[in-house]
Structure 1
Amino acid sequence: MMSHPLRMPLRAAALAALVSLAGCQASPPDALRGTGDLGVVVERATGSLALVDTGDRAILERIEGLGDLSHASVKFSRDARYAFVFGRDGGLTKVDLLRGEIAARVMQSGNSIGGAVSQDGSLVAVANYEPGGVRVFDSETLAPVADIPATWEDARGRRQRAKVVGLVDAPGNRFVYSLFEAGEIHLLDMSGATPAVTRFPDIGAQPYDALIDPTGRYYLAGLFGEDGLALLDLWHPEAGVRRILPDYGRGERRLPVYKMPHLEGWTLAGGRAWLPAVGRHEVLVADADDWSLVDRVPVHGQPIFVMSRPDERQLWVNFAHPDNDVVQVIDTETREVVRTLSPGEAVLHMEFTPRGEHVWVSARDSDRITVYDTHTFEALAELDSESPSGIFFTDRAHRIGL
């Protein structure tokens, strides 16, 4: 068969460009890789990332020198080549997944709790506990762009700075976040020449975490100081914040809370919102249209993450201490627990492969990552990893809020 006359020169030119970009010797074509099968696992005890290949179910290498990763989270650049790591010590690190090395790093605060990448990929925002506020950086260089203090007035009229939690990206190069002590939600618009902040006060006591739905319309903040959640409709922010599920725990004894549940691990499936109950051995089910409570699913312990397989048929749930050696699977059609698994001690996180055929589960105190087949529940691989916690795959680069 005759080849196209331009095909080989184009291939050679593309390979030469890649080699020039990397500044290294030419690699054979089978040594080149994309980023679609890549991900990272946070190894909190050693301040390192395990770079993983989800197709081969293998750890490729480790990237060290990322500081305090005791509550680290990761977001990805628009092209899924870079991982932005938000460390608890205030470090913001940009990691090159193809080179397996740190591309840039700044110490931007004393204590931070996560971040987000803007819709167009040009900005990285970081949520800070100390000092309370949001700092925004250029995603290419990590040069500072904006510093937004999270200020509020207490009952005595004194100006304070609050811890920022639940920071997410929203359409239109906006970011949304909550102020823990103030009981407020702030909407930060970075689409213009200067930052613009819209405040929503009196949303409820102690918002501790938040999420944005997959369409980018609804922002929900969980309330630790009282039962219920606060809902902001970003299509109609002028309508203010609405309280939902205000009395799901009324009249019941609340259990001691050993760990805050993560609302970023909630699920929308089958027209229902599935949420971890605070201080209860339940997963809450709400109608996603009117946000009324429609059911409660009893589970093994206090749920932390309630995560949906991409086809929405299954939910995988992990739990707080002392029940954190178990993962349960809920069938969203029957609303029943269909499988209980024991991946190891102190299960901290789960992540589905992009199409949901596998799920990776980290067990911190067993120094192990287990990969399960989500249809048969067979353990396909066990990977050694020192104190693994958060697992993040590059398909998150193309999803709102993740």
Structure 2
Amino acid sequence: MRYLALIAAMLTLPAQAQPTATGDLGLVIERATGSVLLIDQSDRAALARIDGLGDLSHASLVYSPDQRFAYVFGRDGGLTKLDIVTRQIAGRVVQSGNAIGGAISDDGQLVAVSNYDPGGVRVFDAETLEMVADIPTGGKTIGLVDAPGRRFVFTIWDSGETWIADFSGTAPEITKIPDMGRNPYDALITANGRTYITGLFGEDGLTALDLWSDDPQPIRVLPGYGRGQQEMPVYKMPHLEGWADAGSEFVLPAVGHHEVLWIDARTLKETARTQTHGQPVFAMARPDGRHVWVNFAHPLNDTIQVIDTLSKQVIHEFKPGPAVLHMEFTPRGHEVWISVRDANKVMVYDTQSFEKLREIDAESPSGIFFTARAHKTGL
């Protein structure tokens, strides 16, 4: 009887959910269908497709610190919270008419979105997606990143200003830094949160800020680079968020030229240039910094080049397929996952042998985001 009573008691206990690990997962943006593909690194496989995310023609995302939730920033102003454990949408708000990316605070409590229409930055509670701050800027807002100390940094295309929004107190404090340059189009922040660099479309060169300074002032980087050369049409703006931190140097895609630029990370002075196959879009360093992988704008966007960071020479070139849009390294860099939009494939390559390991079907794939990004500043 005692045995039967024990069995009966066990049957009345609530069922325990199976634990789900998310550290090996990632999401692929499927830009044409408003969906994302949940992927597994170790199995090199797609696990699920999640629909209903709106216009993802220029989309990005960030992760919560526990790597469970993804916040997807859509072109249509949609901010969508995804639960990658349940594989469902956990919340969604259309917060503007046209958005261009976002960031999550270092404590994981705030999600910020930068907007083209109506401009400015809107900040939301990461748990509820309720808006906690609306920061109008009077222009298109780009280059939004998180910075240490519950801060967001962003730049305005129209005015050439960079703003720092500090949310560490009871109300946000805004610091405005003018004279960053004409028509800044994108920006990056270094992994230690110290240096913010914005690229300029309206003039040659870049501008940096030292965020460790009590009074950050614009620092001109490569002023006048490309002057005196025949300028080429810009088919696609390069993405500074796909910059390379190769040890003691930054590697940045040049605007309107077939080259990448090497900059000393300490002095911000140019150290070299490498001629490339086409106009670079992403120049991304393998996590150990040994190689930089570069893809290119239309019409030369079927090609990837690999550059050695010691010799600064191209050591490998191959053609994964039509419209290579994005690359993402596994956290330790043993593989790289590449979205090939017009082949409707995500392709996985060994970064040492350059051997193709797997192809995964995807609908017009673009951005690839592994959950390891949850623990990196600026990603």
Say yes or no: TM over 0.5.
yes
Compute the displacement of 1:202 (Å): 1.6
Correspondence for 1:40 = 27
Specify which of 244, 256, 261 is matched with residue 221 of structure 2.
244
Compute the displacement of 1:305 (Å): 0.4
Specify which of 228, 234, 244 is matched with residue 257 of structure 1.
234
Task: Give per-residue Cα distances to partners, 1:9-30, cap 9 Å, x unaligned.
Answer: xxxxxxx9xx97xxxx545x6x
Correspondence for 1:348 = 325
- Is the partner of 1:248 in helix, strand or coil? coil
The 3 A distance-change label for structure 1 pair 237 and 178 is farther
Instruction: Give the distance between the partners of 2:361 and 2:82, measured in 1 at CA.
Output: 22
Correspondence for 1:216 = 193
Instruction: Give the distance between the partners of 2:16 and 2:153, measured in 1 at CA.
Output: 44
Compute the displacement of 1:293 (Å): 1.0
The 3 A distance-change label for structure 1 pair 316 and 194 is same
Instruction: Give the distance between the partners of 1:359 and 1:218, measured in 2 at CA.
Output: 26
Counterpart AA for 2:33: T
TM-score using structure 2 length: 0.95
Correspondence for 1:311 = 288
Task: Give per-residue Cα distances to partners, 1:181-203, cap 9 Å, x unaligned.
Answer: 11110001111111111101121
Contact 1:169–1:175, Cα closer than 8 Å, also in 2:
yes
Correspondence for 2:122 = 135
Correspondence for 2:243 = 266
Task: Give per-residue Cα distances to partners, 1:76-107, cap 9 Å, x unaligned.
Answer: 00111000000000000000011111000001
Are 1:80 and 2:57 matched, yes or no? no
Which runs of structure 2 are paired with 1:88-103 in the superposition (5 Å)?
Answer: 88-103=75-90
- Is the partner of 1:365 in helix, strand or coil? helix
Specify which of 104, 108, 112 is matched with residue 99 of structure 2.
112
Instruction: Give the distance between the partners of 2:105 and 2:16, measured in 1 at CA.
Output: 34
Instruction: Give the distance between the partners of 1:289 and 1:254, measured in 2 at CA.
Output: 29
Correspondence for 1:9 = none
Instruction: Give the distance between the partners of 2:315 and 2:216, measured in 1 at CA.
Output: 41
Counterpart AA for 2:50: I
Compute the displacement of 1:292 (Å): 1.1
Moved more, 265-274 or 216-225: 265-274
Counterpart AA for 1:188: A
- Is the partner of 1:340 in helix, strand or coil? strand
Instruction: Give the distance between the partners of 2:342 and 2:79, measured in 1 at CA.
Output: 26
- Is the partner of 2:326 in helix, strand or coil? strand
Specify which of 311, 318, 322 is matched with residue 299 of structure 2.
322
- Is the partner of 2:215 in helix, strand or coil? helix
Are 1:277 and 2:254 matched, yes or no? yes
Contact 1:214–1:401, Cα closer than 8 Å, also in 2:
yes
Instruction: Give the distance between the partners of 2:317 and 2:235, measured in 1 at CA.
Output: 21
Correspondence for 1:157 = none
Correspondence for 1:357 = 334
Counterpart AA for 2:363: E
Counterpart AA for 1:63: I
- State the identity as a percent: 60
Moved more, 311-320 or 240-249: 240-249
Task: Give per-residue Cα distances to partners, 1:41-94, cap 9 Å, x unaligned.
Answer: 000110000000011000000000000000000100011100000000000000
Contact 1:248–1:293, Cα closer than 8 Å, also in 2:
no
RMSD of aligned residue pairs (Cα, Å): 1.4
Are 1:65 and 2:52 matched, yes or no? yes
Which runs of structure 2 are paired with 1:108-187 in the superposition (5 Å)?
Answer: 108-150=95-137, 161-187=138-164
The 3 A distance-change label for structure 1 pair 49 and 294 is same
Compute the displacement of 1:248 (Å): 1.7
- Is the partner of 1:238 in helix, strand or coil? coil
Task: Give per-residue Cα distances to partners, 1:153-186, cap 9 Å, x unaligned.
Answer: xxxxxxxx20000000000000000000111100
Moved more, 239-248 or 343-352: 239-248
Instruction: Give the distance between the partners of 2:303 and 2:193, measured in 1 at CA.
Output: 32
TM-score using structure 1 length: 0.90
- Is the partner of 2:230 in helix, strand or coil? coil
- Is the partner of 1:216 in helix, strand or coil? coil
Task: Point out where structure 1 has 5 or more consecutive residues left out of the alignment.
Answer: 1-15, 151-160
The 3 A distance-change label for structure 1 pair 237 and 113 is farther
Compute the displacement of 1:247 (Å): 2.0
Task: Give per-residue Cα distances to partners, 1:212-239, cap 9 Å, x unaligned.
Answer: 0010000000000001111110011514
Paired positions, count: 369
- Is the partner of 1:66 in helix, strand or coil? coil
Compute the displacement of 1:33 (Å): 2.6
- Is the partner of 2:373 in helix, strand or coil? helix
Instruction: Give the distance between the partners of 1:239 and 1:87, measured in 2 at CA.
Output: 31
Instruction: Give the distance between the partners of 1:223 and 1:127, measured in 2 at CA.
Output: 18
Instruction: Give the distance between the partners of 1:147 and 1:99, measured in 2 at CA.
Output: 31
- Is the partner of 1:112 in helix, strand or coil? strand
Counterpart AA for 2:259: E
Instruction: Give the distance between the partners of 2:169 and 2:210, measured in 1 at CA.
Output: 21
Task: Point out where structure 2 has 5 or more consecutive residues left out of the alignment.
Answer: 1-11
Compute the displacement of 1:372 (Å): 0.1
Counterpart AA for 1:59: A
Specify which of 235, 247, 263 is matched with residue 212 of structure 2.
235
Counterpart AA for 2:148: P
Instruction: Give the distance between the partners of 1:258 and 1:208, measured in 2 at CA.
Output: 14
